[in-house]
Structure 1
Amino acid sequence: MISYAQALQQLLAAAPSSRAEQVAIGAAADRVLAAPVLSTQDLPPFDNAAMDGFALRAGGQPLAAGSILQVQGWQAAGDGAADGDAAQAWEIMTGARMPSGLDSVVPVEQIEVLDAVDGRPTRIRLQAAVKPGQHVRLRGQDVAQGETVLAAGATLDINAMTLLHALGVAAVQVQQQPQVAVISTGKELISDAGAVLQSGQIRDSNRPFLLSRLRAAGAEVVWNGVVSDDVAAFDAALDAALAAGARMVLSTGAVSQGRYDFIPDALRARGAEVLFHKVAIRPGKPLLFARLADGTLYFGLPGNPISAAVGLRFFAEPVLRHMLGLAEETALQLPLQADVRKPPGLRFHARAQVQADASGRLSVSVLAGQESFRLKTMLRANAWVVLEGDDDLAVAGSLVRVQGWGHREPVQLSLQEMA
């Protein structure tokens, strides 16, 4: 049995380096940038009105209330360039391009229409002074041409994608998604949610969890399936996963020391190198990590749901992070709300809830029901607490390591917790 630090060192040493590829912007959502994005244009691309009203020229000083102006023309969003007269106004809509020579907008609510033709104002009086530049969005005020808008390593979330669309970015350099497969093992597992369970059967909840979490972690799941406690069926599933392009495989179950825990021997029979089997952690101590003959990484996760979750979060996800070219994950240090018992000498991963008090100070509580078979505790958890050391007690008020539910997900508070 090795320590978590030793295991992580071996994991990262075996992990392949990140590789970049260019993809169209339509396929780039949630991908990780491999190169910075520089803007090739100004945003806004031209001076435009921030509200409906009348464009005019204030010059270097305010234009006084009571001023009367002729209306030279009308400008709607989407209209092209127009030449403005500094002594006259243009009726203008929000987002419309400012006529040349004009520098300010007076809202429609702050003018009096003196004359109109066919419902269009031709002469107006200002009912309030106009400050130079008011209610105008200037060219490049948001983003300047040549500006770096996103750095390498940024995740293209909805906000980043919106900006790239606005800038007309057609393609980006991103890190290749690690291709991953998931195999659930166990003759007791039933995948059909509508099936009636027979005596001794349970539903396969690990595989849906892992599939969802792997995608959130930045991986592409290329194959998944369920096999019984049978070496031939396992070999066939593993062959199918490799044929689908998997360069990382995660399985659940069959890695402990029971009669049906066949995976370690099955892997060795295929020429795999088992790099470690058992880590000084709880839950998930029987975890196995191997390298197949073709270099594919293999994670044998225990079958208990929370043990599998810990194996994914703290073993597979650091490897995925490395393969995505991301920097080492950072963690919060927060005070414990209450004493927590822990297994001495083992690194303990606990489902936890981060909360804020009335003053906004953050603290963390380890939730009741930490046994590795309990799923309901996950409903209240918004973070992981990691406790290390030889002591069997972490005392209230001590600072502990707190990490998000996934490596790309910051710790979040619900409105109820913040109240």
Structure 2
Amino acid sequence: MGDAAATGREARMIAIDEARALVLAECGRLEVERVPAARAPGRVLAEDLCAQVALPPFDNAAMDGFALACDGTHLPAGGVWEVAGVQAAGDARAHAVHGAWRIMTGAALPPGTDTVVPVEQVDVLARGGGGEPERIRLTADAARGQHVRRAGEDVGPGMRVLDAGTRVGAVEQMLLAALGVSTVAVRRAPRVALVSTGRELVDDPAQPLAPGRIRNSNGPYLAEEFRTRDADIVLQATIADDPAHYAEALRQAMALGCDLVISTGAVSMGEFDFVPAALDALQARIVFHKVRIRPGKPLLFAVLPTGALFFGLPGNPVSAAVGLRFFVDPALRAMRDQPPERPLRVPLAVDVRKKVGLCHLQKARLAADAQGRLGVRPLPGQESFRILPLARANAWAVLPEAADVLAAGTMVEVYGQAPGTWRLVEEGCDI
């Protein structure tokens, strides 16, 4: 692309919804692979999962007591029963069908029994030489079927238990283990390259800062965020303001088969903002450059010759965080064939003023008041260089482009700091 094309891009700054739609239109689906269930946490299911077995797999006792057979609707208090045997968890099902059976929680009900009476609702009338109960009397009525977990009561054979697009977490892992699932079909982990630009950046935290130098905070931040998103970081580099070295890093990312290249810095219109020209030289297709948002307005999105998606995020830390949360995350969901994320709609807890013509994406705290009503409060320090308010935030508040004053009580969209996570403030309920 030449200067004319670049000038055209500069002249057209697009809205956040249009920008995200353009991103999603470029997202292909990651390939499907089958992995052991033990390696599934963090991955996204590529197909619906149906149970092959029942859960529980057999009728079993919900508490310690005695298993009995009930001919009617209940067993009356005062009934006397001979104890036929003991059934512990892990024992094969007993074959006898008469009398009462001493039973432990989780043990299979002996054939013919259908009711469990807790030990505290029984008087022991006779004991054997080892102290084991031989005859009991009920001290309370027992309803038929009480304290019994029926086979398939939780999950029946053939039931769909997890949908395609579900991210496997600890609870899903518990379900897979309980059902005896050995392998699952998941989307491949995306391969990601992270490139930080800036001659002022220092990676080594032990290195003293020379005048004009700053620590590289974007690189470690993005690396950790992508680890939590189950991405495979195949390249991480810090490049001084050197277009040749930068182009070489992009070529390396493409050679490594990256699906996503995330670059920070050098996307504005300054003398050292060389990323657009470097992309043009590589024959990348720039889809848009600049979005009507604050922070993060200079964001650039392109498609590299290999088909990898390129996100050029501004260098200020909060601008990079906004680019990740509101543009890269939707792309990751689409690549994993997950449905779009749905934000909460929550009333503002305070009056807010903003600039008309830009959608403001503000660091905020979501909390409940004493009556349990949610509210969101944008935090002081919304400038894009301020990291501390981001650390104190638990949400992002989306303030619409057309508004200048939003009164307390106005409903706004609210996103968690990361997809699928919500963390309410812990130091009280005042909002």
Tell me, in whole angstroms, the C-alpha distance in 2 between the residues paired with 1:389 and 1:311: 17
Structure 2-normalised TM-score?
0.92
- Equivalent residue for 1:378, pick from 354, 378, 390: 390
CA deviation vs aligned residue, 1:142-199 (integer Å, no higher than 9, x gap): 1111111112222212111101110111122222332211111122222223333232
Match for residue 289 of structure 1?
301
**Counterpart pick for 1:162 among 174, 195, 212:** 174
Q: What is the identity, as a one-letter code, of the residue corresponding to 2:148?
A: V
Identity of aligned residues (%): 48
Equivalent residue, structure 2, for 1:221: 233
Q: Which residue number corresponds to residue 180 of structure 1?
A: 192
Letter in 1 for 2:235: W
Q: Contact conserved, 1:349 with 1:387, CA < 8 A, in 2?
A: yes
Counterpart in the other structure of 2:347: 335
CA distance in 2, matches of 1:144, 1:104: 21
Q: Could you tell me which amino acid in structure 2 is paired with residue 3 of structure 1?
A: A
Moved over 4 A (4+): none
Is the partner of 2:174 in helix, strand or coil?
Answer: helix
| Aligned position for 1:400 | 412
Equivalent position SS for 2:76: coil
Match of 1:192 among 204, 209, 215: 204
**CA gap 1:402/1:417 in 2 versus in 1, 3 angstroms:** farther
Letter in 1 for 2:165: G
The 8 Å contact of residues 271 and 292 in structure 1, kept in 2 or not, is answered as yes
Deviations 1:120-146 (A, max 9, x none): 222223233322112111111111111
- 1:98 maps to 109
Instruction: State the alpha-carbon separation in 1 of the partners of residues 204 and 100 from structure 2.
Output: 69
Q: Deviations over 1:231-275 (max 9, x none)?
A: 232233223323332111001111112222222212211221222
Equivalences for residues 7-406 of structure 1 within 5 A: 7-86=19-98, 88-113=99-124, 114-406=126-418
Partner in structure 1 of residue 5 of structure 2: none
Q: Give the Cα–Cα distance (whole angstroms) in 2 for the partners of residues 356 and 35 of structure 1.
A: 37
Cα-to-partner distance string for 1:17-47 (whole Å, 9 max, x where unaligned):
3443222211111222221111111111001
Whichever residue aligns with residue 32 of structure 1, its letter is V
What amino acid maps onto 1:266 in structure 2? A
The residue that corresponds to 2:429 in the other structure is 418
Deviations 1:96-137 (A, max 9, x none): 111111111222222233122223222223233322112111
- What is the CA deviation profile of residues 200-243 of structure 1, one whole-angstrom value per residue up to 9, with x for unaligned ones? 22221111211222233453322222222222322332233233
Q: In 1, Cα distance between the equivalents of 2:428 and 2:301?
A: 38
| 1:262-316 Cα deviation digits (max 9, x unpaired) | 2221221122122222222111111111111222111111110001011111111
Q: Could you say what secondary structure the match of 1:232 adopts?
A: helix
Distance 1:148 1:296 in 2: 34
Distance 1:105 1:9 in 2: 58
Query: TM-score normalized by structure 1?
Result: 0.94
Structure 2 unaligned spans of 5+: 1-12
CA distance in 2 between partners of 1:376 and 1:241 (Å): 32
Q: Secondary structure at 1:117's aligned position in 2? A: coil
Letter in 1 for 2:176: L
Contiguous gaps of at least 5 residues in structure 1: none
Q: Secondary structure at the match of 1:389?
A: coil
- Amino acid of the residue matched to residue 204 of structure 2? D
Q: Distance in 2 between matches of 1:417 and 1:313?
A: 27
Question: 1:115, 1:124 within 8 Å by CA — same for their partners in 2?
Answer: no
Q: Structure 1 counterpart of 2:308, which letter? A: T
Distance 2:39 2:192 in 1: 19
Task: Give the Cα separation in 1 of the matches to 2:184 and 2:429.
Answer: 38
Higher mean C-alpha deviation, range 92-101 or range 9-18: 9-18
Question: Matched residues in 2 for 1:204 and 1:84: separation?
Answer: 73
* Corresponding letter in the other structure for 1:146: G
Between the aligned partners of 2:15 and 2:105, the Cα distance in structure 1 is 62
Instruction: Determine helix, strand or coil for the equivalent of 1:416.
Output: coil
CA-CA distance at 1:94 after TM superposition:
1.1
Pair 1:177–1:408, CA change in 2 (3 A):
farther
How far apart, CA to CA, are the structure 1 residues paired with 2:322 and 2:40? 29
Aligned-partner Cα distance in 2 for 1:117–1:68 = 20
